[in-house]
Amino acid sequence: MTPSFLAALRAALPASALLIETEALRPYECDGLSAYRQVPLAVCLPETIEQVQAVLHACRVHGVPVVARGAGTGLSGGALPLADGVVLSLARFNRILAIDADNRLARVQPGVRNLAISEAVAPYGLYYAPDPSSQIACSIGGNVAENSGGVHCLK
């Protein structure tokens, strides 16, 4: 980690949203495919779009690769960090923004858990059909990236 890149990350994020100590990075060293592990340079946990933009700008300027991460339940190593890279966790983008029951439409942030959508629309007699068995933990961003689903997709 170069001092100038670290300074750029510190300018982009509050201290609570930037992990750089090895012990703090360790939980992010792998996803569900735990045969492969790599501690990244840093983990960023932004909470706003502006913070995401600032992190990505800093990474681009300094030529640092970025790996996005939802809940880290993937089984294909997609969220496996790079040794010289940053993990961009979208876990704090966990709000359901709008539910339009008449049109069967929900607008959600990418870190929302799959099951949280079914829980939120249950009062309307609805559920979110793609149901990976990791649905209690996995995020919609990860679901989209991995084309995830379960038995209700087949139905």
Task: List contacts with ligand FAD (CB under 6 A).
Answer: 31-32, 67-75, 78-79, 90, 110, 132-134, 138-139, 141-143, 145-146, 148-150
Least Å from the CB of residue 136 to ligand FAD = 9
Altogether, the residues listed in the chain come to a count of: 155
Burial of 130 (0-12, 13-18, 19+ CB in 10 A): middle
Does the CA dihedral 150-29-25-18 come out positive or negative?
negative
Residue 49 or 101: which CB sits closer to ligand FAD?
49
Q: What Cα–Cα distance (Å) separates residue 39 from each residue in 24, 45, 75?
A: 10, 16, 18
Residue 4 or 84: which CB sits closer to ligand FAD?
84
Are 108 and 66 in contact, with CB atoms under 8 Å apart? no
Residue 13 or 89: which CB sits closer to ligand FAD?
89
Least Å from the CB of residue 53 to ligand FAD = 14
Least Å from the CB of residue 89 to ligand FAD = 8
Least Å from the CB of residue 102 to ligand FAD = 27
